[in-house]
Structure 1
Amino acid sequence: MVLVLLGVLVLAVFGCACVVWSRRGGPPWAGKVATGTLAAGAVVRALGKNRGGGRGGDGGD
């Protein structure tokens, strides 16, 4: 289980690095990885909203 989580962490860090690199004019493959990373992030955010995700309860202070 630890190896799986470590693999996911490495992929996330690599994807974030490709997003930064592609924004600075990196190679075309970095742009494709960045697009995939941003799409995966959008999917995760959408799934979190559908599950009623969000931290802090009602949000009122």
Structure 2
Amino acid sequence: MAVLVLSVVLVLVLGGCVCVVWAQRGGPRWVRGVAAVTLGMASVVRFVGRASSGSGKSGSSSSDD
């Protein structure tokens, strides 16, 4: 079941990326709409990722030598 859900999410992400590229090349109106939604969701995911990674950091120094 989890594989099916992840497969659907992967197909939606890839379809959104295709629509973004197609919209850059002047695709139809529905493609520009899907591209706008895809880019909007990407910014939401980026914001949530930054917020969650920032809250997990402690004041100690990292050991990435």
Task: Indicate the TM-score class for this superposition, using the shorter chain for normalisation.
Answer: 0.7 to 0.9
Counterpart residue number, 1:9: 10
TM-score, with normalisation over the residues of structure 2? 0.80
By how many angstroms is 1:52 displaced? 1.2
The alignment of Structure 1 onto Structure 2 pairs a total of residues equal to 56
1:48 pairs with 2:49: yes
What is aligned with 2:33? 32
RMSD in angstroms over aligned alpha carbons?
A: 1.5
What amino acid maps onto 2:29 in structure 1? P
Q: Percent identity?
A: 52
Mark the structure with the bigger radius of gyration.
Answer: 2
- Could you report, residue by residue, the CA deviation over 1:8-59 in whole angstroms, capped at 9, with x for unpaired residues? 0000000000000000010000000000000000000000000016xxxx5x
Write the letter of the residue equivalent to 1:30. Answer: V
Gaps of 5+ in 1: none
Give the structure-1-normalised TM-score. 0.85
